[in-house]
Amino acid sequence: MASTTVGARLRCERCGTEIIVVKAAEGDVVCCAQPMAAREG
């Protein structure tokens, strides 16, 4: 499991949903049944 840090930007490769993490947590953020990928910018 990965750690999600505050301020990280994540994007779903399948549907294009983008999020910014506001609360740190252990584990992967999942969308469309797959982990979301880190995004630059």
Please give the pLDDT value at position 40.
76
How many domains, the chain?
1
Report the CATH number that the domain containing residue 15 is assigned in CATH: 2.20.28.100
Please give the pLDDT value at position 39.
85
Question: Measured in whole angstroms, how far is the alpha carbon of residue 39 from the centre of its chain?
Answer: 8
Q: What is the pLDDT along the chain (41 residues), one digit of tens a residue?
A: 566 899 999 999 999 999 999 999 898 999 999 999 998 76
CA–CA gap between residue 12 and residue 27 (Å, rounded)? 16
Find the domain containing 12 and state its range: 3-38
Does residue 32 contact residue 14 with C-beta atoms inside 8 Å?
yes
Please give the pLDDT value at position 2.
62
Please give the pLDDT value at position 1.
57
